[in-house]
Structure 1
Amino acid sequence: MWILFTLLAASMQAWRNAFQSQLSQDIKVSGVTLARFIWAGPIAALYLCGLYLWWPVAMPEFTTQFCLYVLGAAAVQILATALMVKLFKLKNFAVGAGLAKSEALAAAVLGVIFFGTYLSVLGWLGVFIGGIAVFMMSSAKGFREISLKTAVIGLACGTGFALTSLWVREASLILDLPFPHGAAWVLLFVITVQTIALLAYLVITDKPTISALLERPKLTLLTSTTSCLGSIGWFTAMSLQTVPYVKTLGQIEVFFTLLIAMFWLKQKVKIKDLLALVLIAVAAILVMWG
């Protein structure tokens, strides 16, 4: 079951990244980040209501620890999303999304340090290969011209998404509900916090960006919808399986990303970048085996 939800998440996330990449051409980073959440809240609420109609269970108790995990996950995911949009502005879509996929490797490292996950020598080899791939993708002319700025942003983005995933899993486990319900509650809370925070920020500092989003209703709705469906997949999968395993299988998103970039966005992918994307997938598999 967790494999099916992960495949759903990976495919939807690839499309969401593509839509965000399109929005980023005309809209500021903060606006593109808001597009991910602005319509996702109502979709998440409908999903939760549908679950309770299909399978009624008890209402959860929301502890202080649960709220802290939710707030932390919401804040870090906003930051990571903004960094990913920044990557789209620095590189093309496929490369920006590929750099963000350092998330799986960051999840493994953070899991070992803070969440009791064990990695063998094979697993650490995967981490090393993934690091090489990230540096390959961040350079314009191979290792002769490595862009430190792009590499740092990519690693920071991946680390932010990894922290989000680890805290989301902890929040889901705290609720002690059946797997779809606990994940759905966490999803609704996280998206609500994110939407309120970003809307408040833009209302105070940059109202024209909100207007710019409203002028692109189709693309904004597609971004929110694919984002919410992807989050349903991620949150549910992570309530069933540990984060490194889920994010490792989720590396299949790399190939969805390449297909979208080549056949829908009509972007050229260099051989070097293609090799780096493959290395990221190989690294992720090594991490899972480890």
Structure 2
Amino acid sequence: MPSPTSVPTPVPALAAPAGRVHEGLVLEPRDVRFDWAGLPLHWIPDEPMATHIINVLHLLLPEGERWFVKVFKEALPMIRDEQLREEVLGFIGQEAIHAEAHQEVLDHLLGQGLDPRPYVRQIAWLFQRVLGDKPGLSAARRRENIIERVAFVAAIEHFTAFLGNWALNSPGLDRAKADPTMLDLLRWHGAEEVEHRSVAFDLMVHLDPGYARRIRGMLVSGPLLVHLWVRGARFMLAADPTLDGRLKPTWRETGRIARRGLLPDPVRSLRSGLRYLRPGYHPSQEGSSSQALGYLATSPAARAAADR
């Protein structure tokens, strides 16, 4: 597969009132497929730590995005705006394909002797049992539970958009000769995260315009995501059969790798979370839709999907 085409320089997105940002937006689920037969275990050559820190995405996203889909399907009857309903349906379609694409990477890792299933079982328990639907609730309490989970999704989607924007603007991965198929997966997924970056937030505001809900969603989801990512990185490095447990992740080493452009900068990630807490914040202020659509027009996997 050829290397993904380079993306244009980001164009800052302009802020706009919630509910009007996506006027005319049509979210298209792209039925992409990837061939993982040639993917090396360390797909960033000689960089097992950077490889496995990014690989945590494959641990978290299949179960997480299936949960997003379930929550948004439960919220559909509560939507009173037809444009937003169409955007939510497009979001559901894209997220379902994201989950399957990352699941294929997990299956490939298992074939290479790295068994991700113990950690994935814990993630499945979290999303299905702890954050899942609660049977036996009254209609009013069930509605409140759905809105609360939508707020959690909106906060997580803020970080996936941040990561997507980073993936689209990460020349360090190209310089390091990262596997082109994995780069296309990360950038195709990242572009779609930027493309639909406002949908979860707009749904949350549609169901509850209060500021407290947004803050609570971030205060729960932000620390939880960091915790899961740190645990996931430790797990992947310990489970790698070629490392024999010799490599341990540290914040210092993560910062060093990030300065070389192989990982998102932890400080910028924190600042991104703090931006979400501003009263006037809207996700349209993150990333560039034109850049995201530009990559989707050149992505090998997305172009192949369009030709089928």
TM-score tier (shorter): 0.3 to 0.5
| Structure showing greater relative contact order (alpha-carbon pairs closer than 8 Å, 6 or more residues apart) | 1
TM-score (norm 2): 0.31
TM-score (norm 1): 0.33
